[in-house]
A and B are shown apart, each in its own frame.
Chain A
């Protein structure tokens, strides 16, 4: 048995997925990734996650629709939105997320947010 926390990263940007996977694995998390929202939702049905890091602008189902579906199937699962765009913060449909972090070269804020949520 491991007490490592499990993250699911849903992001269509391969580089971002790999960067986050490396960073959070180094920090001691178990990391699972999905390249689109459909695969992400399937991961949540198949495996346990303690937190989801969710991109918004993705082909097909976007992060906003995915967030609604995550809340409906995993009511208490925290979701952190991680988007290159800040204006979605005003969108009521993103308010179900526990936090909203704008993408940047520095991952400190995202790491801090994830740690706070899983503390």
Chain B
């Protein structure tokens, strides 16, 4: 049963700077960064909202928000206002104070008037930074059945990877009894050898409990952050439950793409059978901008060779070789060019006889003929921006 008729309001925190994804975030916030050379990162959480029936959605934006706002207008502006359904961006307005959002909790606190306008019984607060699918009905039903003040989705990961997340412990009744943000020594799951439960940034609050915690936190000098302040302060006095993501409908795939390396790996994973079929399935469509582009064209006198790759609409490929790569829409690639293990985003133009390996090209990069990238690390270092060992060419870069 869809959440459509429930008194639930959804906030998506979409103001992430994504500093470690520079230069992909030079001109846009993290949720607006392309993924798989077709989608934007925000498309995944928004698709899960729509597919689950969450259709009263506010996106809280802050830094470098123009790109995200344009994407929302072009791609996500289809819900009927007449049915009180909407996906509405809310830029930081300094409505309450003269400060921008100082933390995730402050972002919601500064928009308490929206809770007062809608008077929902429960509030989803979701991160706009992650790649995953989720049927939020499952979490909602557990939340209601258990009468929780807060239900948060949790994921088991290897202990060595857990230190950069919020790590929690849970009893057999799913009650969360400890929570530490980015601990030096993460607490392991009892009985497991080397796994920890982490916070996925997916919360469902009882509205009254949420408001009480937010106004209390606003009175204190804290980071005004859900992970650092709100959740630890709730333990012991509120019913805080975990929802096991692994046991849910799409519980086998969740990726945090916080760094260039993790972003690159998640994109490459998308190419594999595991990634693409898990993340994009017919019964759980991922929406994105639908431009009126013609089909892609594969021309030239000899065959274009494409292996284990995707090519979006409106691209022109001539006698080139594309291996293990993601090619966006409106891309032109010249004769005898080899592209391998790379992500080439929308509207790029790559000349003839080039070799591009292990690289990320942001939107509208232009490369002339006879260029080698990713072949000689020393030469790359002198000419290009490299992050986590990967050449990343920023938007509108012309070589």
> Is A23 on the interface with B (CB-CB < 8 A)?
no
A95 and B215: CB pair below 8 A?
Answer: yes
A71 to B218, CA, bound (A): 8
Contact status A92-B97, CB under 8 Å: no
Give A74-107 interface residues, CB cut-off 8 Å to B.
75-76, 91-93, 95-96
B209-235 interface with A by 8 A CB criterion: 211-212, 215, 218-221
Which residues of chain B are near A72, meaning CB under 8 Å? 96-99
**A82 to B166 Cα, complex, angstroms:** 41
Question: Which residue of chain B lies nearest to A68 when distances are taken between CB atoms in the complex?
Answer: B96
Contact A93 B97 (CB under 8 A): no
Is A73 an interface residue when CB atoms closer than 8 A count as contact? yes
Q: Is the CB of A93 within 8 A of B219?
A: no
Q: Confirm or deny: A69 has a beta carbon within 8 angstroms of a beta carbon on chain B.
A: yes
Contacts known (A95-B211, A95-B212); A71 close to B219, Cβ less than 8 A: yes
**In whole angstroms, what is the CA distance A76 to B217 when docked?**
11
Q: Are B96 and A75 in contact (CB under 8 A)?
A: no
Q: Report A55-77 CB contacts with B as 1/0, cut-off 8 Å.
A: 00000000000001101110110
CB of B173 within 8 Å of the partner chain: no
- Within the complex, which residue of A68, A69, A73, A96 is in contact with B219, where a contact is CB–CB below 8 Å? A96
Measured CB to CB, the closest approach of chain A to B212, in angstroms, equals 7
Q: Given A69-B97, A95-B212, A75–B219 Cβ distance below 8 Å?
A: yes
* C-alpha spacing A69/B215, complex, angstroms: 13
Closest B residue to A77 using CB positions: B219
Q: Which residues of B contact A92 (CB under 8 A)?
A: 112, 115-116, 207, 211
- Find the residue from A68, A91, A92, A93 having the highest chain B CB count within 10 A: A92
Residue B113 interfacial (CB < 8 Å): yes
Q: Across the interface, which residues of A come within 8 angstroms of B221, CB to CB?
A: 75
| A residues lining the B interface (CB < 8 Å) | 68-69, 71-73, 75-76, 91-93, 95-96
Can you report 10 residue pairs joining A to B where beta carbons are below 8 Å apart?
A: A68-B97, A72-B99, A75-B220, A75-B221, A76-B219, A76-B220, A92-B207, A92-B211, A93-B112, A96-B218
List B residues at the A interface (Cβ < 8 Å).
96-99, 112-113, 115-116, 207, 211-212, 215, 218-221
